[in-house]
């Protein structure tokens, strides 16, 4: 695999340190193309054949590429709000939550079973495994700024992913059926619409 392929497509792979989808951590070769995805965004471009070691499951890249509509009308993506504008995460993309907000640091939450045989009012908090606290990577919570919905051609997509597309350099995009398609040079790709959310990094 060439350095160019790595440089262009690495941003579209699953690079999270705690990810269990290691099959998506690198691009792979399929039918004349280098292809990469993290499960929500995908990108591909012409490539010489290359091999990487991987025993994991991958999505059907050819099917994803084949779904690209023929009647798309592409327009420049335009300028995006900077990620660094966020006052909560200072552009890092995550905030630190050391005390579990689910149980308020107690490690216990209200027992919600309606069974007449249950006698306990509380149970161990699943979010923090009963510790009440988070440390290290578990304390990192994705900041809402990454999922800030930005309107593109009448639909909304996550700011984080739009920045990955913009980093290619003056891409053109088209939106159809809640899916965004993009082109920049030889790189083509697609982004699924996602809804804003706050997800702990360990999940």
How confident is the model over 19-71, as pLDDT tens digits? 667 888 889 999 999 999 988 899 999 998 888 777 678 899 999 999 999 99
Overall pTM surpassing 0.95 (yes/no)? no
What are phi and psi for residue 106, nearest 5 degrees? Answer: -90, -25
Position with higher pLDDT, 199 vs 84: 84
**Looking at residue 200, what is its pLDDT?**
40
pLDDT grade, residue 184 (50/70/90)?
very high
| 193 neighbors 179 (Cβ within 8 angstroms) | yes
Bridge partner list, 110 = 122
Neighbours of 169 (CB within 10 A): 9
In the chain, the domains with their CATH numbers are 3-83+148-192 (3.70.10.10)
Tell me how far the alpha carbon of residue 90 is from its chain's centroid. Answer: 19
Kindly state the tokens that stand for 89: 């995460």
pLDDT digits (tens, 9 = 90+) for 161-173: 999 999 999 999 9
- Separation of CA 187 from chain center: 19
Question: What does the alpha-carbon distance between residue 114 and residue 112 come to, in Å, rounded to a whole number?
Answer: 6
**pLDDT above 80 (res 147):** no
Mean pLDDT of 180-202: 76
Q: List for the chain the helix, strand, coil content (%; round to 5).
A: 20, 30, 55
* pLDDT for position 113: 58
């Amino acid at each position: 695999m060439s350095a160019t392929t790595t440089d262009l497509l690495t941003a579209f792979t699953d690079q999270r340190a705690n990810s269990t989808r290691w099959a998506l951590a690198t691009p792979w070769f399929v039918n004349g193309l280098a292809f990469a995805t993290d499960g929500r965004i995908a990108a591909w471009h012409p490539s010489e054949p290359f091999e990487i070691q991987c025993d994991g499951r991958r999505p059907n890249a050819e099917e994803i590429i084949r779904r690209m509509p023929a009647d798309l009308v592409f327009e420049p993506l335009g300028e995006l709000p900077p990620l660094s504008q966020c006052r909560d995460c200072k552009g890092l993309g995550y905030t630190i939550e050391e005390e579990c907000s689910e149980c308020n640091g107690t490690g216990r939450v209200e027992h919600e079973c309606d069974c007449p045989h249950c006698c306990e009012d509380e149970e161990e908090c699943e979010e923090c495994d009963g510790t009440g606290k988070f440390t290290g990577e578990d304390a990192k919570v994705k900041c809402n700024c990454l999922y800030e919905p930005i309107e593109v051609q009448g639909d909304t997509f996550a700011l984080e992913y739009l920045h990955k597309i913009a980093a290619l350099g003056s891409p053109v995009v088209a939106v159809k059926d809640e899916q965004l398609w993009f082109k920049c040079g030889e790189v083509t790709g697609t982004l699924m619409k996602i809804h804003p959310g706050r997800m702990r990094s360990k999940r």
